[in-house]
Structure 1
Amino acid sequence: MFSPIDNYLINCGSSESTTAVDFRRFSGDLSGNHHSPLPSSSNGAFPLRNKGNFPDLPSIYRTAMVFNKPTKYVFPIKEQGTHMVRLHFFAFNSTRYDLGQSQFHVLVNGVVVLSNSRRVISSEKPMITEYLIKVLNEEHLVIHFVPTKDSRLAFVNAIEVISAPKDLVPETATYLSSKGIENFNGLSNQALEVVYRVTVGGPKITPFNDSLWRTWIPDNEFLRSSFGSERLYFGGRIKYHAGGASREVGPDNMYNSARLIKSNNDSVPNVNVTWEFPIIGGYKYLVRLHFCDIASIQLGLLYFNVYVNGYLALQDLDLSSITGSLASPFYADFIVDGNGIENLSVAIGPSNSSIPYVYDAILNGVEVMKMNNSHNSLDGEVCAGFVLKNWASGNESILLTFIAAICILLSIFIVVRRKIIDSRNYVPWSRLPMNASEDNEIKT
């Protein structure tokens, strides 16, 4: 059982601890517990309680910490390396604020992880964003919430900061492009946003059934061509082996199900099974594919091809030669460019080495993760420094405008006051008689 060194579970806007649906304990950030960091700008942060009638709503979404100026949470880090950061949002409405109208940025250790908050905020259901951030030569992980100038409102319901297993993000991956296949080094130094985590052929996997408390959704909505394929569920034991996928990389329930292509006669079917995932252009994406031969009756019978974005990623893949046994998991990481496309595709199909009367392709799971761009951002073309400076300059301009208005009012007040004083000291003026000289003395 995985036991993380750093494990912060924060129930924001509350002084009470609460238990999530996966039986983990979230501590209130107002409880005074040293394991529950308080937001740093206390005069710009205040708690809000959801008084709506949502009987099935998990308790962590019944409160929120709301911010009307840049505020940060600071988490002391004991273990260097990759950390999982999950942010929970549910835009409930209260008598004071409508959280659905909030707009804000979120920065994690200098990475802009969220710029357009509207894409993850919902008043109908809770939303969770997940990031993999490497903490290197730092003693803290810092999360900034920065409201936009228009909204002046940001919020969060719950925060998770968890040190990740060492094997979760490797150093290298395979980069696929029109120029061919090459190695991509330094993958673990990239900031990643989990966009899709999909179990293929099986039901939804909840955090309670995953050693890293992840959610895996079914593949149905992403399946574009399934002709000639079938689903399979395996009731046996998944055999994890050293050097392969661990239980932290992928849970048993994901490897226990799959979609397959099967040859039912003496010819190998000429079909591919394809999945498509909508993406945002302008980023590279890490595509992690999970395989586990839970279908074959013996080794050496399953050979197939794997395609990512139309590129041949794996040719004549033979899982038995990699794992040495059946029902033993394996995963492969690929990086592709998201420029100029709206959907990222994954496909499996028979190869020239496929054999009739047996299974000719298999896939158990897919993960798609966005990689940070050249601005060190996962959401937009602005860097963290610009976000913070823009807020400061915005406040300065407001202050200068206020000072200018005060100066104008003071000037008007001074002019009016002088006129009043002058009117009180005013002596009516009359012309001298035409026949009077300036030397004449006026006698009374």
Structure 2
Amino acid sequence: METMLTRLRFSFFLVFVFTFYDLSSSFSPIDNYLVNSGASLDSTVDNRRFISDSSDSSNSHHLSSPETFSLCAGTLLPGLPQIYHTARVFKAPSKYVFDVKDPGMHMVRLHFHQFSSSKLNLRDSQFHVLVNGLVALTNFSGGNLVGPKVREYLLCVHSEKLEITFVPAERSKFAFVNAIEVISAPQDLILETAQSVNGDKVKPFEGLNQQAFEVVHRVTVGGAKVTPFNDTLWRTWVPDDDYMKSTEGSTRVYFAGRIKYQTHGASREVGPDNVYNSARLIQSKNASIPNVNLTWEFPVMEGYKYLVRMHFCDIASISLGLLFFNVYVNGHLAYKDFDPSAVTNYLLASPIYADFVIDADHSGFVSVSVGPSSKSMAYAVDAILNGVEIMKMNNSVGSLDGELPAESVLKCWPRRSAGILLPLIALVCLLLSLSAIIHRRNTNKVDSVPWSKLPVDVPEVSPKQGKQQLSSRV
């Protein structure tokens, strides 16, 4: 048994989701900044209070901006959270600065909702966003949004400050944001090691928790949408229907019992009950094993590494030791004959997750699959999946959106308009010329005054003596 567990640890990086379910215990982040940008009053969303960023409302953060103003939506949409009814608009590079009391991994969420008012249409925006020197967005445009959009990032913060900088792409453009969240994350949300899958090679990937991530997809498999109100880290998990390559052979399952989080490991914030109590599975209903895999495809951007997190919780088996299946990432076998019960200390309904690092290829998709293995049994569950997360990793220049580092993005902002600069230079040159002419005329007038002898009480100094006196002063 010990040999089996050792092999599992080395060949497949599974993280236990532990700590028994307790309604009285909930995650309470040390750094917890919720900003209602552009608003004069605070707003409450899902029992969370977003603080107005007006200068006299709070000292929890500092806004530095040479040109900014608040904007209110011309038409308020019913049912839309209050934070999307206002926005902070920036006409020049500007930044929010947050104090960091808890160094380590932090979650940063930026809320955007393009609306129009009599003063401005947010669809006309175009800007870049930097987070502590990380390029989060380049040439972002509100016109590309349909309804509210939340961009979520995970990054390790070692400094005492976290800065979020907004840079308009051009002087004719502007930047905006509706709300901001800066939250210290649980220490076990991103651990140090994952498994790198490159073709048929699977090997450890070290230093994962020192990378920066953008959450691209967060999906609950087989279940309904999970809202921030039902997630202890205030995340949104969308249904998997739009990502399944084919539903043939799959069965949905729902679980009404208690999810058994275990001790000595990751917290339950890794995945909420509402993700683990539903799943899709492959089930053998007769003596034959179904010859089918369940596959999900997620659109991604080529040229980046991605963290693929797969969530498993056996809520369907009637007994231990009956579920064996294979796990595939981008079509490559990532784990063979996986037995969840061997990893969960032989408990059913006990959640685990697996982290893989892969390179996005030219296809523009990342795929994950589960399917029967050579150890699958008749009349039993032959594969299961409860949730998937796809996170883009920063590239070599510290960017999650493009090939330019933060320094180059900041230099894109035009310091001065050339059309105004040239006339100013010409005017300065003209003034200097006039000043020189006037000075020359005054000098000529002084030279025409008759020479006067020095007073007799001032001793005469020879050139040689004067040189000696200057040298002695030096």
Q: TM-score, normalised by structure 1?
A: 0.88
Among 171, 184, 202, the alignment partner of 1:163 is 184
Matches within 5 A, 1:8-407: 8-20=33-45, 22-30=46-54, 32-41=56-65, 43-118=66-141, 121-122=144-145, 124-136=146-158, 138-149=159-170, 151-178=172-199, 180-243=201-264, 245-324=266-345, 325-391=347-413, 394-396=414-416, 398=417, 400-407=418-425
* Residue type at the aligned position of 1:347: S
Q: Deviations over 1:366-417 (max 9, x none)?
A: 00000001110000111111111221xx224x1x541312455789999xxx
* Residue type at the aligned position of 1:231: R
Q: Deviations over 1:330-384 (max 9, x none)?
A: 0000010013221110110000010110000000000000000111000011111
Q: Quote the offset at 1:266 in angstroms.
A: 0.7
* Residue type at the aligned position of 2:421: I
**Does the Cα contact within 8 Å between 1:303 and 1:318 map onto a contact in 2?**
yes
Q: Quote the offset at 1:152 in angstroms.
A: 2.6
Q: Which runs of 5+ in 2 are unaligned?
A: 1-25, 433-474
> What is the aligned partner in structure 1 of residue 449 from structure 2?
none
**Does the Cα contact within 8 Å between 2:122 and 2:143 map onto a contact in 1?**
no
- For the residues of structure 2 that align with 1:179 and 1:375, how far apart are their CA atoms? 28
* Residue type at the aligned position of 2:36: N
Larger relative contact order, structure 1 or 2 (CA cutoff 8 Å, min sep 6) = 2
Query: Judging changes above 3 Å, is the alpha-carbon distance between structure 1 residues 120 and 284 closer, same or farther for their aligned structure 2 residues?
Result: farther
Query: What's the secondary structure of 1:197's corresponding residue?
Result: strand
- For the residues of structure 2 that align with 1:273 and 1:170, how far apart are their CA atoms? 28
Query: What's the secondary structure of 1:387's corresponding residue?
Result: helix
Q: Deviations over 1:81-101 (max 9, x none)?
A: 000000000111112211111
Q: Percent identity?
A: 57
**Does the Cα contact within 8 Å between 2:76 and 2:85 map onto a contact in 1?**
no
Say how many residue pairs are matched.
407
- For the residues of structure 2 that align with 1:112 and 1:208, how far apart are their CA atoms? 29
- For the residues of structure 2 that align with 1:352 and 1:212, how far apart are their CA atoms? 38
* Residue type at the aligned position of 2:402: G
Q: Deviations over 1:304-347 (max 9, x none)?
A: 00100011111111000000200000000001001322111011
- For the residues of structure 1 that align with 2:395 and 2:341, how far apart are their CA atoms? 37
Query: Judging changes above 3 Å, is the alpha-carbon distance between structure 1 residues 356 and 234 closer, same or farther for their aligned structure 2 residues?
Result: same
Q: Deviations over 1:129-175 (max 9, x none)?
A: 00001101x10110000000164300000000000000000001000
**Does the Cα contact within 8 Å between 2:34 and 2:181 map onto a contact in 1?**
yes
Q: Which runs of 4 or more aligned residues in structure 1 lie more than 4 Å from their structure 2 counterparts after TM superposition? A: 407-414
Q: Quote the offset at 1:56 in angstroms.
A: 1.8
Q: Which runs of 5+ in 1 are unaligned?
A: 415-444
Query: Judging changes above 3 Å, is the alpha-carbon distance between structure 1 residues 119 and 26 closer, same or farther for their aligned structure 2 residues?
Result: closer
**Does the Cα contact within 8 Å between 1:277 and 1:343 map onto a contact in 2?**
yes
**Does the Cα contact within 8 Å between 2:35 and 2:179 map onto a contact in 1?**
yes
* Residue type at the aligned position of 1:251: P
Query: What's the secondary structure of 1:168's corresponding residue?
Result: coil
Among 25, 28, 40, the alignment partner of 1:3 is 28
Give the CA RMSD over aligned residues.
Answer: 1.9
- For the residues of structure 2 that align with 1:358 and 1:295, how far apart are their CA atoms? 9
